[in-house]
Amino acid sequence: MKVSKERRAAMRPRTRLVHAGRDPSEQFGFVNTPIYRGSTVLYPNTDSIFRRDNRFVYGTKGTPTTRSLEEAWSELAGAETTVLTPSGLAAIVVALMTAAGAGDHILVTDSVYRPTREFCDGVFARMGVETEYYDPLIGAGIERLMRPNTKVVFVEAPGSHSFEMQDIPAIAAVARARGACVIMDNTWATPIFFPPHERGVDIAIEAGTKYLSGHSDLLLGLTSANAAWADRLRATFDAMAPCAGPEDCFLALRGLRTMDLRLREAGRQGLAMAQWLAARPEVARVLHPALPDYAGHDIWKRDFSGSSGLFSVILKPASREAVSAMLDGLELFGLGFSWGGFESLVIPFDCRSYRTATVWNPGGPGLRFQIGLEDLADLQDDLDRGFARLRAAA
Global pTM? 0.94
DSSP 71-119: HHHHHHHT-SEEEEESSHHHHHHHHHHHH--TT-EEEEETTS-HHHHHH
Q: What is the mean pLDDT of the chain?
A: 95
pLDDT tens-digit map of 174-210: 999 999 999 999 999 999 999 999 999 999 999 999 9
What angle, 0 to 180 degrees and rounded to 10, lies between the N-to-C axes of helices 376-393 and 320-328? 150
The band of 13, judged by pLDDT with boundaries at 50, 70 and 90, is confident
pLDDT tens-digit map of 228-255: 999 999 999 999 999 999 999 999 999 9
CA distances from 381 to 186, 266, 273, 345, 386 (A): 32, 18, 12, 15, 9
The band of 22, judged by pLDDT with boundaries at 50, 70 and 90, is confident
314 backbone dihedrals φ, ψ, rounded to 5°: -110, 120
Domains along the chain with CATH numbers: 5-256 (3.40.640.10), 259-393 (3.90.1150.10)
* Res 134 pLDDT > 80: yes
* Res 25 pLDDT > 90: no
The band of 1, judged by pLDDT with boundaries at 50, 70 and 90, is low
DSSP 176-218: HHTTPEEEEE-TTTHHHH--GGGGT-SEEEEETTTTTT-SS--
DSSP 24-54: GGGGTT-SS------SB---SSHHHHHHT-S
pLDDT tens-digit map of 39-86: 998 999 999 999 888 888 898 999 999 999 999 999 999 999 999 999
Q: Which residue, among 260, 249, 210, has the nearest Cα to 82 in the 3D structure?
A: 249
pLDDT tens-digit map of 341-376: 999 999 999 999 999 999 999 999 999 999 999 999
pLDDT tens-digit map of 216-227: 999 999 999 999
Q: CB-hemisphere CA count at 13 Å for 50?
A: 3
Q: Determine the pLDDT at residue 110.
A: 98
> What is d(CA 246, CA 237) in angstroms, rounded to the nearest whole number?
17
CA distances from 144 to 114, 137, 148, 174 (A): 25, 14, 12, 10
